A = this chain, B = another copy of it.
Amino acid sequence: MHDFRYKGKYLYCEKVKLEDLAGRFGTPLYVYSYRTLIDHYLKLEKAFRPVKALICYSVKANSNLAILKALIAHGAGLDIVSGGELFRALKAGCPAEKIVYASVGKTDGEIEEAIRRGILFFNVESLPELANINRIAAKLNKITRVAIRINPDVEAKTHKFITTGKITNKFGIDLKNAYKILCMRNNFRHIRICGLHIHIGSQITESSPFVSAIKKVAVFILELKRKGIYLEYLNIGGGLGIVYDRETPQTAQRYASKIMPLLKKTGLKIILEPGRFIVGNAGILLTKVLYIKSTPKKKFVIVDAGMNDLIRPALYGAHHNILPLIKVPGAEKTDVVGPICESGDFLAKERRIPKVKEGMYLAVMSAGAYGFSMSSNYNSRRRAEEVMVKRNKVFVIRTRETYADLVRNEAK
């Protein structure tokens, strides 16, 4: 599954002892395994090779330039959601024709820049947005490509915050209205509607929601064909779940086997937008135990990583396994909490973990996706350093912020 394993009593990332990294770079520290990252990308790429799918990595999961560069070097395209992500994608060297752009709230400036750069297409989320893209393309005297994001109204069976394919969500367009838009496509003279897009949510561990959604869209595509509306792309989004705890998510191969027949039937070029699947288990967060605090009711392991570094437990009630970098015997029920002044600042609650002591280091597992990318400076804390391990080599891919960084843009 991933390259974070004990060898003897020490936890390693590939060939590097994590205890050494924590000592050398300090904590909190994000550590990524190059091999795990690429391995997960290739698993999907291979599974979908029969339809020559373009895998557009979802930048929002982890937008570090080094992560993007590594994936681009292996042939990945990118799925972006903002002007900032377009900037990152281009800076990392992604060819514009491998970039797809989704978001319910694209601004004029962002749309203009993406058209100028010649991205593959926009995933369009509403009729007013379509009209706006057409207006801006007209101003630039260009014709730009779009895919209509369909809201297939399926239940993704995941956290309500990351369900995006229900009709009550802000995302996409229902089939009926999508059809209306396709029929009036000639009104938008600076747009070519070249495809459909779906993305029903995130951290989905079973294939049935995907199958339901793709079936609906596949039927729709055939209907359109019969009516003389021909498309080129089907973008099936991302959302593949990973193992955080005891999940048993579908493999890339199994996912592909379930949906490939449907995809082939459409005859369209296929695009995928995985984020978490590729980077989730390729990263961990190292933290140091500052204090062991015993109270009459509870035992707290207080660590130096907080909700500003990893907000998933507080925001989604997410589970992350916690392992000591050096194996210790025993186990005890504890709350693992950060230094932030809120009770919401925890990494684990009422969790049995090994009997650690002050000064020891812990690894918060599966923190590669939506870890650093959601981190903040709350409590005026500097954001963590990020390093990438490649066999026995270590590369700093983002240095720790300084105090001066915190006030850089403020009036002195």
Contact = CB atoms under 8 A, between A and B. Distances in A.
A376 B401 CA distance: 14
A84 B406 contact: yes
Interface in A12-43: none
14 contacts: A81-B380, A84-B377, A87-B407, A88-B380, A104-B291, A104-B293, A105-B291, A161-B314, A162-B343, A164-B343, A167-B296, A170-B300, A173-B295, A202-B342
Given A102-B341, A343-B160, A409 B403 contact: no
A162 B293 contact: no
Interface of A: 59-60, 63-66, 81-85, 87-88, 91, 102-107, 125-126, 128-129, 132, 151, 160-164, 167-171, 173-174, 176-177, 202, 290-293, 295-298, 300, 302-304, 306, 311, 314-315, 335, 337-344, 346, 358, 373-382, 395-401, 403, 405-412
Contact of A105 (B87, B103, B160, B306): B306
A302 B105 contact: yes
Given A59-B380, A105-B291, A397-B411, A315 B339 contact: no
Contact of A304 (B59, B105, B311): B105
Contact of A407 (B65, B160, B405): B65
B297 A167 contact: yes
Nearest to A401: B409
Contacts of A297: 167-168
Contacts of A162: 342-344
B87 A411 contact: no
Nearest to A344: B161
Please list the 8 inter-chain residue pairs (A to B) with the smallest Cβ-Cβ separation, ordered nearest first. A105-B339, A84-B380, A161-B344, A376-B376, A87-B403, A126-B293, A85-B380, A128-B291
